[in-house]
Structure 1
Amino acid sequence: MTYSFERRLLQLAILLASIVPLGMGTASIVAGATVIRGVRAPVPIDLDSHFRYLSGLLLGIGIAFLCALPRVERAGIVFRALGLVIVAGGLARSVSLLQYGPPGPGHLFGLGMELVVVPLIVIWQARIQRRYRETASAE
């Protein structure tokens, strides 16, 4: 597979994966904590405030991934930093899973994104960055 084709595939994978934080971040900011299964209004104000704050972070993560797309081969630091934040969140979510049991399907999907998909994308980005540097140094 050529470098250019693999780079485009990575960009497409990131674009598709970004739909999750962009969509859920936006929906959760708009709806607040009531977007969670079993949570009904009125929601405690501090819970709603914290939930919307974290939803804003989720939206920001999605935007940061999209901003890195055009120069994905040079955005290693961005991908590693975002990956660290996301995996840390997934590990925190795992504490809840161990303590209280499995959440609903949407949250299990999120856990899979956080602990499987994102690390694979970070590794893939590092491969593209390495191939880019090899190509640039050969010229």
Structure 2
Amino acid sequence: MIEKRVLQVVVAIACLVPLVTGGESILRGAAWMAHGPVSRDLDSHFRYVSGIFFALGVAFTTCVPAIERKGARFRLLGAMVVTGGLARLLSLVEVGPPGQGHLFGLAMELGVVPLLMVWQSSLARRMMRM
């Protein structure tokens, strides 16, 4: 089914965001995003959260093969991303808008990922009826 392949390609491309950004953040630490020095505690926490973000990308990639059968995993991972997006939205409200990269992340977290979750669920239901 062509739709399954398209969804797999879209999800694989979307996985590049946490894999690349998370990997770069693990290696470079918080200083690459800061405009000045960062504390050791902030850098430690930033790299820890970046490791989780990277692992989330790896976990999503495990959904790509047989994506129609990975609904529970896909929804759990998606819920984690949406939760992070809601936390980012809280920051936007309380502190102000972040830079463009973070606004892109917010759009992915609260827009693209929920749409992918709906798409995956719809595809899975249709493929079960076949």
Please give the range of the TM-score, normalised by the shorter of the 2 chains. Answer: over 0.9
Number of aligned residues: 130
% identical equivalent positions: 49
For the residue of structure 2 that corresponds to 1:25, the secondary structure is helix
CA RMSD, 1 decimal: 0.9
Which residue of structure 1 lines up, in the alignment, with residue 86 of structure 2? Answer: 91
Partner residue of 1:24 out of 21, 26, 32 = 21
Q: How does 1:117-136 map to 2 (within 5 A)?
A: 117-135=112-130
What is the letter of the counterpart of residue 76 of structure 1?
G
Displacement of 1:67 after TM fit?
Answer: 1.1
Q: Residue 7 in 1 paired to residue 4 in 2?
A: yes
Where does 1:26-41 land on structure 2 (aligned, <5 Å)?
26-38=23-35, 40-41=36-37
Give the Cα–Cα distance (whole angstroms) in 2 for the partners of residues 125 and 102 of structure 1. 31
Shift of 1:131: 1.2
Amino acid at match of 2:125: R
User: Would you identify which runs of 4 or more consecutive aligned residues in structure 1 move more than 2 Å?
Assistant: none
Superposed counterparts of 1:101-112, under 5 Å: 101-112=96-107
> 1: distance between equivalents of 2:56 and 2:100?
22
For 1:27-71, what per-residue CA distance to the aligned partner results, in whole angstroms no more than 9, with x for missing partners?
000000012142x33x21111111001101111111111111111
